[in-house]
C-alpha cells in the first residue's frame, strides 16, 4: 500500500490543528487511499486505518461522516471498529448505509443495535440481504408496522416460528403486512391458514388474482377449510355482565383471580375466562373475545404471559379457544415452546402493537 506514512503524518498535523475543514479533507484522503487499495489490504493494515479513521471522526461534521459510511458499507474488509462506530451512530444518515449493507457487522452487533436503537435503525437492518432468526426475532419484537412489513418482504430474512406467529397476529387489520406475509415462500401451512382466516375479502381476492394457477388452487383449498371450520361464538353482552358480577367479589385479589381463571377454563366457562384475563391484563374484554375466536394462539399466549400465568393454566385456556382445535394449527402441547419463548416484556409489546392496529381498524 503506497503513501500511508505521508498521509498518516498529515493526520497528526490535522489533529493538532483542530481545524474542522482540515480534518474533513484528511478524512477523505485517508478514505480514498483505503478504498482504492482495499482489495489488497490485509487485516493488519485495516486495523491501522481503523485507528486513524476513528480519531478523524471525532468532532467532525455529520455530513462528512455520512459520506464515510456510504463508502465503507460495501467493502468486505472495511475497518471493523470504524464500521461498528458508524453503525451505532444516532444519525441514521450515518448509521443507515453500514446497517443495511456492511458485511463487517457481526450478528451480535446487529442484535445489540436492534435492541437499543430506534425504528429507523431497525428498518435499515431489516433491509439486509441475509438475516438470521436471532436478529429477526428482535426486529419482530420491537419494530413498528413499517419495519414488520419490510422484514416480511425480505426473502433473505429467516423468521422463527414464534416470529412468524407474531407477524401473523400483527397483520390482523393490516392489509399490506398480510399480503407481504402471504407472498413468502417459507410461511408454514398453519400460519398461512391463520393469515387468510383474518384477511379481508379484498386481500383474499387480490392474492387469488395475483397467484399462478397452481397457487390459486392451494389458496381456494385453504379458504374452503376456513369456511367449513366453525369458530366459537362471540360472547354476548349479557354473558359479560353476568361474568363481571361473578368475578367482582374477588377481582382485587390477583392470585385468587388467577386461580379462578384456571377453574373457569377447566369448566369451559369462556365469558368468565375472558373477563378474568381482561382484569388481570388490562386488555379490553371485547378485544380478548377476538383473540378467542381466531385460530392463531399467539395472542392468547401473549395475554397469559403478560400476567405470568403458569403453562398448565394457559393450556386449559387455549383448549377452549379457536386455536385449540383449528385445522392445521399447532397442537396445544407444541404451543408450550412458543409460550416459553415469550418474555413478559415481549408479550406486552406485542399486545400494544396489536391493540393499536385494532383501534385503527375499528376507526376505519
Residue 272 has pLDDT above 70, yes or no: yes
Q: 61-70, 231-240, 319-328, 355-364: lowest mean pLDDT where? A: 319-328
Res. 334 pLDDT band, cuts 50 70 90: confident
203-222 pLDDT per residue, tens:
999 999 988 888 888 889 88
Q: Average pLDDT, stretch 53-58?
A: 86
Q: Which helix (H) or strand (E) holds 63?
A: helix 62-72
Per-chain mean pLDDT for the chain: 89
Q: Answer yes or no: is pLDDT of 49 > 60.
A: yes
Three-class SS state of 131? strand
Give one DSSP letter per residue of 168-218, joined into a string. HHHTTT-HHHHHHHHT-TT--HHHHHHHHHHS-HHHHHHHHHHS-HHHHHH
Predicted pLDDT at 293? 86
- The answer to whether residue 349 scores a pLDDT higher than 90 is yes
The answer to whether the predicted template modeling score (pTM) of the entire model surpasses 0.85 is: yes
- At residue 21 the predicted structure's pLDDT band, cuts being 50, 70 and 90, is confident
Backbone angles phi, psi at 133, to 5 degrees: -65, -25
Predicted local distance difference test score (pLDDT) of residue 75: 95
Q: What percent of the chain has pLDDT over 90?
A: 63
Sole residue written with cell 383474518: 198
- Mean pLDDT along residues 2-23: 63
The string of DSSP codes covering 233-284 is PPPPHHHHHHHHHHHGGGTT-HHHHHHHHHHHHHTT-HHHHHHHHHHHH---
Residue 3 has a pLDDT of 55
Q: Most confidently modeled of 52-56, 198-202, 279-283, 293-297?
A: 279-283
Give the pLDDT mean for 103-121.
98
pLDDT score, position 16: 63
* Crossing angle of helices 62-72 and 80-87, rounded to 10°: 120
What average pLDDT score do residues 225-236 get?
Answer: 72
For residue 299, give the C-alpha cell.
Answer: 395472542
pLDDT at residue 235 tops 90: no
Q: Residue 311 has what pLDDT?
A: 93
Residue showing cell 384477511: 199
Higher pLDDT, 221 or 301: 301
Give the lowest-confidence range in 36-45, 175-184, 185-194, 280-289: 36-45
CA distance 262 to 194: 26
Q: What share of the chain is helix, strand, coil (3-state, %, to 5)?
A: 75, 0, 25
Q: How confident is the model at residue 196, as a pLDDT?
A: 92
Amino acid at each position: 500500500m503506497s503513501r500511508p506514512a505521508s498521509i498518516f503524518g498529515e493526520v497528526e498535523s490535522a489533529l493538532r490543528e483542530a481545524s474542522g475543514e482540515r480534518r474533513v479533507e484528511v478524512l477523505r484522503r485517508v478514505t480514498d487511499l483505503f478504498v482504492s487499495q482495499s482489495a489488497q489490504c490485509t487485516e493488519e493494515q485495516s486495523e491501522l486505518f481503523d485507528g486513524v479513521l476513528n480519531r478523524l471522526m471525532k468532532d467532525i461534521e455529520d455530513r462528512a461522516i455520512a459520506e464515510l459510511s456510504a463508502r465503507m458499507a460495501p467493502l468486505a474488509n472495511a475497518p471493523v471498529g470504524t464500521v461498528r462506530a458508524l453503525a451505532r451512530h444516532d444519525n441514521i444518515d450515518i448509521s443507515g448505509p453500514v446497517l443495511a449493507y456492511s458485511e463487517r457487522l457481526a450478528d451480535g452487533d446487529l442484535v445489540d443495535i436492534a435492541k437499543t436503537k430506534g425504528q429507523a435503525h431497525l428498518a435499515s437492518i431489516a433491509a439486509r440481504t441475509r438475516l438470521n432468526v436471532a436478529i429477526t426475532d428482535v426486529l419482530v419484537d420491537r419494530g413498528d408496522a413499517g419495519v414488520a412489513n419490510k422484514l416480511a418482504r425480505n426473502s433473505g430474512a429467516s423468521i422463527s416460528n414464534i416470529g412468524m406467529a407474531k407477524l401473523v397476529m400483527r397483520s390482523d387489520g393490516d392489509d399490506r403486512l398480510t399480503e407481504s406475509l402471504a407472498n413468502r415462500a417459507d410461511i408454514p401451512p398453519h400460519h398461512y391458514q391463520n393469515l387468510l382466516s383474518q384477511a379481508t375479502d379484498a386481500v383474499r381476492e387480490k392474492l387469488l388474482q395475483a397467484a399462478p394457477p397452481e397457487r390459486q388452487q392451494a389458496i381456494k383449498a385453504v379458504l374452503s377449510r376456513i369456511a367449513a371450520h366453525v369458530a366459537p361464538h362471540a360472547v354476548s353482552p349479557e354473558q359479560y355482565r353476568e361474568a363481571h358480577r361473578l368475578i367482582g367479589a374477588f377481582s382485587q385479589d390477583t392470585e385468587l383471580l388467577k386461580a379462578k381463571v384456571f377453574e373457569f377454563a377447566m369448566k369451559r366457562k369462556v365469558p368468565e375466562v375472558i373477563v378474568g384475563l381482561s382484569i388481570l391484563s388490562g386488555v379490553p374484554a371485547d378485544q380478548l373475545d377476538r383473540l378467542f375466536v381466531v385460530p392463531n394462539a399467539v395472542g392468547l399466549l401473549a395475554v397469559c404471559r403478560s400476567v405470568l400465568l403458569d403453562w398448565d393454566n394457559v393450556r386449559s385456556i387455549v383448549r377452549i379457544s379457536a386455536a385449540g382445535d383449528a385445522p392445521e394449527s399447532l397442537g396445544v402441547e407444541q404451543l408450550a415452546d412458543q409460550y416459553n419463548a415469550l418474555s413478559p416484556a415481549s408479550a406486552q409489546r406485542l399486545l400494544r402493537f396489536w391493540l393499536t392496529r385494532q383501534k385503527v381498524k375499528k376507526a376505519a
